Amino acid sequence: FLTCDDSEMVKKVLLIESDMDIAAMVAFGYGKKEKETTKLDIHSPSNVSISNKSGHIAPKIAVTALAFDSDFDTPYNFDDEYADPVIADALYAASLSPSFLNHQNYRFVINGTHVYLFNQFDEVVTKNDNLLGLGAAMLNFHMILSSKYSGIGNWSLDVSNIKHDFKNPSDYILVAVLDI
């Protein structure tokens, strides 16, 4: 998605005749599935990662880098025979959700029957754009879970009583929890 600072210019370019202001534009879909490819993520000169991607490829972080099991030291094992395939599908859906410039400033920690959502604010993405992307990821995750399981509650933004040590980097803060 893109936020719009000049509503009149956007309406002129897109030939929109309306008295309403345009606040944001959203594009949906990823087209056809692509062949497998190698993706190079350069986080900094000393932090480079290489991963293989297939399916609906976009310049996003791989779902395997967005999810953790119990804490940030343990990547979520999508290949574990005991891993819940619905959780894997929900994480995949969240990884495809729109985020400003594909920053994907969120991470998930799966711990038993709880899903914890962490967020990272940075200088590139404004607070409002960051929160919009976070909401999109929460929605996509929840939609998959609630389509497969009955009785799924809503995300709770009250995380003040959660004292577990998730070993999260200092720039990632706990923002929501979902009981499944």
Band of pLDDT at residue 154, cut at 50, 70 and 90: very high
The verdict on 13 and 53 lying in the same domain is no
Per the structure, the count of domains in the chain is 3
Tell me the whole-structure pTM to 2 decimals.
0.71
| Count of residues in the chain | 180
Q: Which of 76, 56, 57, 58 is nearest to 66 (CA)?
A: 76
Structure confidence by residue, pLDDT tens digits, 101-138: 788 999 999 998 999 999 998 888 888 889 999 999 99
In the predicted model, is pLDDT for residue 33 greater than 80?
no
Contact 104, 140 (CB under 8 A): no
CATH of the domain at 171: 3.40.109.10
Domain, as residue range, for 75:
61-180
Highest mean pLDDT among 22-26, 123-127, 154-158: 154-158
pLDDT tens string 44-96: 677 777 776 665 555 678 888 999 999 999 999 988 888 899 999 999 999 98
